[in-house]
Each structure stands twice: as C-alpha cells, then as structure tokens.
Amino acid sequence: MQNGSLIKGKRSWFVSFYRDGKRTTQKIGSLDEYPTQQDIAPVLQRFMADVNTSKKRFVPTTGMTLREFVTTKYFPDVTKELRGSTLRGYKAIWNNYIDGRLGKERLADIRTFELQEAMDDISQTTDLKKASLFRVKTFMSGIFSEAIRNGLRGRDNTNPVTEVKVRGRRNERKTVTYAYSLDDIKTILGSLTEPSKVLMAVAAYTGLRRGEIVGLQWGDYDGKTINVRRNICFGQRGEMSVELPKTEASEAAVPVIAALRKILDAWKAKAQVTDGCWIFPAGFTRKKHTETLLDAASLTPLSPANLLRDAILPALEKAKITWHGFHAFRRGLATNLRALGVDDLTIKDILRHGDVAVTRNSYIKRVDERSVEAMDRLEAELTRKPVQSAKPKVKTERIQSVSKV
C-alpha cells in the first residue's frame, strides 16, 4: 500500500506515486485552497485511498468543497451518461461561470442566497442570454441533486437551486438565425471543390447535422437514401468520439435528390472505397483515437473545423459569400421546402425532428402572406404613374353680365 509523496509547488500541491508500475505525479489542490500541509492532508489521504483500491471509489466527506465534488464525482459519473456535446457544454459552464464564484465553498454549507448572488453576478457581468442563464441553473441543480444522493447535504434534502431566479434581460431580442436560400446554396457549391463541395452538398440537400455528415460511411448510402446511424462528437480540444444519433427520431433514412446523387456517385467512384469506409475520411490516421473511429481503411473521419478553416472559408471569402454555419443549411432546407408548398409534417420527417413544433418555431423562416400582399400593393402604388388632374374652369358668365350694366 502506497502513502504517496506530497510535493509543494509554487501554486499547487502535487502527489507522486506509482500507477501500473510507473511513477507519476498529479495535482491534488492549490495553495490558495490549502495553504498548509495540514490543510491538504485529508485530500491526500482520500486520493491515495482511491489509488490503493483496485477500483477507484468516491469517498464523500462533509468538508468537501464544491470543486472537489464536481471534479472527483460529478463529472466522472455524468461522462458515462451524457452525450459528448452536452458534457462539453457543462464543463464550459463550470469553468467559465461557476468554479471561480463557488468552487472553494464547502458543499454542505452553500445556501440558496449564495447561489442567487452567483446567478445575479453571472447575469450582470456576462453577455449570456436568458436561455443560457437557465442552462447554468439547470447544471447547478444537477450538481446539488447528485450531492444530496451522496449524503453531502446533511439532513437538508432540499435542492438549494430550486428557488434561484434567473433575473434581468427581460427585453432582450431573440437571436436572429439564418437560413440559406436556393441561390445561396448554388453560389456556395459553385465556389467550392471536392471534398468541400461534396460535404456542403450533403448539408444543403439533406439537412443533416454536422456530426451526422462527418459520421457517414458508404454503407449508409444506397443510391436513393442516406441512413443516419451514428454521430461524431467533438470534445473541447477537437477530439472525436462516435455516438448514437441525437434522438431516436434522428435514426431515419433521408431521401437523396438527383443533384446530390450525382455529386455523391462521382465522389465515390473517385474514392474507390468499400462500404466500411468514411464518406469523408481525414486522409491520415490521428495518433490519438479510439478504435470506433477507424474505418475499414484504418482512417479516421475528417475534421470539419479544419476543412472549414483551410478550404471552405477562404473560398467563400474570395467569392464574397458570408458563412452562417452548418445549421443554416438545415434551416434553409426547411424554409425552401415550405416555400415550395411542402407541408410542415413532411419537413419534420425530413429533418428527423421528434416534434413538428421544433420544425415550425426554429427552422422554418416564415413571412406572413398578408404582409407580402400588402407590400406588393404598396410597391404597385409607388410605381404607378401619377394622373394629372384637369385645371378647374373659371366661371365668368356672371362677371360679364355685370360689366354690361
């Protein structure tokens, strides 16, 4: 059994120990939190207890800080349950908005008023919109629910986040999102070359999400439809992982129109690959990857961020086209189909939404028909040539009769 060697750095405490026969060093706390060796000693004991057990286990203590709990218990547990993109968002919320405000506080002592002060400070000192502030509250609520389940809130089993209010920003404007028109799409595709053009065509003509596009393999395309079977998630540093599609409704076949079929078939003929290969391979194998990222040719999917930076954005800038993001293609497909008379339920199925309200509220950009008609009438009135009015006739009969008298 190891005791570990405590090391005091300039700003942090470290412990040196053996893991799998190799000596390693790991940070266990900062000097701001634990000024003396006596302060850090309980943390060292808990850490080495985990190292010495065959399976790491969480040891709850009443003196645990919020930071200790989140980093040693909460995140390791939710990593197994959450989608990569959700976990990445939670870690960003923790690092950017919560850790600096509440991380040092004892978990058992934090009360609603302190959480309210933190939420008000986040609202007043950042540019987060109301929806984002509610996500911060939801994340904090999840942390304290887990703390209660681990007995770290004493006898108080009430979640202190429940009564926290998201205040302010009542009159903020709704974020304006963009939907690419058919003319936009034609211009964008005309300015790109393979593989950028192929990837953008899939985005424009199927409405697939970015991770779904990068996660496509040739076996998912049968010449008539594309079957969405996986999603590539990207970590905070761009690391990739393979996940199931976002929802059950997302696992569906999407029809392929003739224009896209022509582009895909030409790309496949040039690639000369098998069904077990990525449609958009990186062209090399990354050093850090999981086995699920390797296809039949031992290649990993390409990085859309790298493709965007190296090929797409320079081409669009040269063509003087504004880039509005991958999701603008998805919104554009919904909007363009609606303009062509396709009903909302069919558009919902094509975008693979679980609820048609999401399609209507967030994807279809509508213009009220009465407004269009009114503006057309105004335009017609403004372009109509003015009618010259006839000059009024002056009555002179009475004057003439008077002059004769």
Looking at residue 163, its pLDDT comes to 92
Indicate whether 239 and 108 sit together in one domain.
no
Q: What total number of domains does the chain contain?
A: 3
- Within a domain: residue 245? yes
Distance CA 352, CA 30 (A): 47
Provide mean pLDDT across the span 162-182.
75
Of the candidates 271, 280, 261, the residue with the CA atom closest to the CA atom of residue 215: 280
Residue at token pair 């990569």: 84
| Least-confidence region, from 95-109, 137-151, 190-204, 326-340 | 326-340
Please say which residue of 52, 75, 91 terminates a domain. Answer: 52
- Within a domain: residue 159? no
| Least-confidence region, from 24-28, 202-206, 352-356 | 352-356
- Within a domain: residue 112? yes
- Within a domain: residue 169? no
- Within a domain: residue 393? no
* Containing structural domain, residue 104: 66-149
Do the beta carbons of residue 285 and residue 298 sit within 8 Å? yes
Distance CA 294, CA 284 (A): 10
Do the beta carbons of residue 243 and residue 80 sit within 8 Å? no
Distance CA 399, CA 49 (A): 122
Indicate whether 94 and 46 sit together in one domain.
no
Indicate whether 221 and 353 sit together in one domain.
yes
Indicate whether 192 and 123 sit together in one domain.
no
Indicate whether 203 and 336 sit together in one domain.
yes
Indicate whether 78 and 19 sit together in one domain.
no
Q: What is the pTM of this model?
A: 0.59
Using 50, 70 and 90 to split pLDDT, how confident is the model at 140? Answer: very high
Residue at token pair 């990222």: 293
Looking at residue 396, its pLDDT comes to 46
- The CATH number of residue 234's host domain is 1.10.443.10
- Greatest mean pLDDT among 42-56, 126-140, 158-172, 387-401 lies in 126-140
- The CATH number of residue 76's host domain is 1.10.150
Q: What is the chain's length? A: 405
Indicate whether 91 and 228 sit together in one domain.
no
- Within a domain: residue 404? no
Indicate whether 340 and 293 sit together in one domain.
yes
Write the CB contacts of 399 (distance below 8 Å, at least 6 apart in sequence): none
Instruction: Say yes or no to pLDDT of 168 above 60.
Output: yes
Do the beta carbons of residue 136 and residue 128 sit within 8 Å? yes
Indicate whether 188 and 331 sit together in one domain.
yes
Which comes out higher in pLDDT, residue 392 or 253?
A: 253
Indicate whether 199 and 304 sit together in one domain.
yes
| Helix and strand element counts for the chain (H, E) | 18, 7
Indicate whether 226 and 266 sit together in one domain.
yes
Indicate whether 199 and 264 sit together in one domain.
yes
Distance CA 245, CA 254 (A): 14
Looking at residue 389, its pLDDT comes to 47
What value does the mean pLDDT of the chain take?
Answer: 79
Of the candidates 181, 212, 187, the residue with the CA atom closest to the CA atom of residue 199: 212
Looking at residue 97, its pLDDT comes to 92
DSSP 293: G
pLDDT digits (tens, 9 = 90+) for 301-357: 888 888 899 999 999 998 888 999 888 888 888 887 887 777 777 777 777 777 767
- Within a domain: residue 143? yes
Q: Provide the β-strand partners of residue 222.
A: none
Using 50, 70 and 90 to split pLDDT, how confident is the model at 33? Answer: confident
- Within a domain: residue 369? no
